[in-house]
Amino acid sequence: MGRFWSLLFLMVPVLGVAVFVFAVVPGGIFDNHWLPEDISQHGKVIDDLFMFILYLTGVIFIGTGILLFWFCWKYDAEKNPEPVKFTHGSHTLEIVWSILPAATLLFIAIFQMDAWAENKMAYPTKEDGSKKPPLALITGRQFEWRIQYAGPDEKIGTEDDLHIVNDLHLPVNDKVVLRIQSIDVLHSFFLPNVRIKQDVVPGMQQHIWFQTKKTGTYDIVCAELCGWGHYKMRGRLIVESEEDFEAWYASAVQEQNRTSLNTDSDD
């Protein structure tokens, strides 16, 4: 039976790698079962890092899997006539297999620092060097995303703000800054196609920024448990050309002002 069990353990790296190959390579039974389309400028760095770690860990996965199989196969007590190699270990080996992974891990750690810094610590500026103001304020509440565009004066909380629920329209190719907040519990603002995820913490003011490179409609997902209706806290990210965005914005403002309660029409 030792042969059978050895082969069973060999199936782990064989099938394990096969599943990932089917997922990564387009077409086949796992078509479209991989990182969703990336429409952001910064996403490639994240995806490349993911793939880099996948290849690196893949090598270790295959290596250890094959060793486990081979030792089980070769040193099966039923088939192995050799005496046991009586040893308590090897200093040299211990040093080798401590330093090699340590160096590799440290390399990954340092290698990714730039991507993290770029993502979390950099901040877009205007031509004059001042911080770019947020395009909109996004407020998470059970179970919707309230969106408040700053409007022409670029200030949130003024009368020219545009209020929308769940549909976030953005101009393509523009560096967009968003302020996010929550008024009740934790939420997480997750844009799978933009490789953005940021928990929204009540009591904290947070900013995210990104630059899209493709138009289309994508999902806004709440990724932090926020109560019984967590699953339906769904928004839409609508990335449009500059002209389309302007046109939509104008019509949305017009729609918002279509009321007798509007302060402008009172005059």
Partner 1 sequence: MDNSSAVSHGHGHGGGMTLSHFISTYVFSKDHKMIGLQFLFTTLLWFVVGGLLALGIRWQLAYPWSDMPVIGGRLFSAEGGQISPEFYTTLFTMHATVMIFFVIIPVLAGAFGNYLIPLMIGADDMAFPTLNMLSYWFMWPAFVCIGISFLTPPYGAGGGWTSYPPLSGVRAAAPGSQMAQTWWLLGVTLVGISSMMGSVNYMTTIIQMRAPGLSMFRLPLTIWAMFITAVLQAFALPVLTAGGFMQILDRMLGTGFFIPEGLIVNNAEMMSGGGQPLLWQHLFWFYSHPAVYIMILPAMGMVSDILSCFARKPIFGYKPMVYSISGIAGLGFIVWGHHMFVSGMNPMLGMTFMVSTMMIALPSAVKVFNWLGTIWGGKIEFTTPMLFSLSFVSMFVIGGLSGIFMAATPVDIFIHDTYYIVAHFHYVLFCGTAMAVLGAIYFWFPKMFGRAMNETAGKWHFFLTFIFMNGTFYLMHILGAVGFPRRLADPYHYETFKHLLPMNRFITWCAIGMVASQVIFAANFFYSIFKGQRVGRNPWRCNSLEWFAPSPPVGHGNFDAQPIVYRGPYEYGSPEVDTDHYPQTQPPPEGVEPSDDGHH
Contacts with partner 1 in 144-203 (CB under 8 A)? 183-186, 188, 190, 192-193, 195-203
Q: In this chain, which stretch among 18-26, 145-153, 154-162, 163-171 interacts with partner 1, using CB under 8 A?
A: 18-26
Q: List all residues 6 or more positions away from 59 whose beta carbon is below 8 Å from its beta carbon.
A: none
Least distance to partner 1, CB of residue 116, Å: 4
DSSP-derived 3-state class of residue 111: helix
By beta-carbon proximity to partner 1, the closer residue of 193 and 212 is 193
Q: 26, 27, 55, 113: which one contacts partner 1 (CB under 8 A)?
A: 113
42 versus 132: smaller Cβ distance to partner 1: 42
Residue 35: CB minimum distance to partner 1, A: 6
By CB under 8 A, tell whether 258 contacts partner 1. Answer: no
Region class of 227: left (phi > 0), else alpha (psi between -120 and 50), else beta: left
3-state secondary structure of 217: strand
Per the CB < 8 A criterion, the answer to whether 156 and 150 are in contact is yes
Site for partner 1 in 86-105 (CB under 8 A): 86-91, 93-94, 97-98, 101-102, 105
* Side-chain-side CA neighbours of residue 213 (13 Å): 10
Of residues 184, 181, 207, the one with CA closest to residue 196: 207
Minimum CB distance to partner 1, residue 50 (Å): 5
Q: Mark residue 27 as left, alpha or beta (left: phi above 0; alpha: psi -120 to 50; beta: remaining).
A: left
Of 91 and 258, nearer to partner 1 (C-beta) is 91
Site residues for partner 1, window 117-136 (CB under 8 A)? 117, 119-121
50 makes contact with partner 1 (CB under 8 A): yes
Q: How far is the CB of 40 from partner 1 (least distance, A)?
A: 11
Is 25 a binding residue for partner 1 by CB under 8 A? The answer is no
Contacts of 222 (CB under 8 A, 6+ apart): 140, 143, 187, 188, 189, 190, 230, 233, 234
Name the minimum Å distance from CB 243 to partner 1. Answer: 25
Cα 125 to Cα 242: distance, rounded to the nearest angstrom: 19
Minimum CB–partner distance for residue 133 and partner 1 (Å) = 21
Is 226 a binding residue for partner 1 by CB under 8 A? The answer is yes
196, 177 contact by CB (below 8 A): no
d(CA 204, CA 193): 25
Find the binder of partner 1 among 26, 27, 32, 129 (CB under 8 A). 32
User: Is residue 225 involved in binding partner 1 (CB under 8 A)?
Assistant: yes
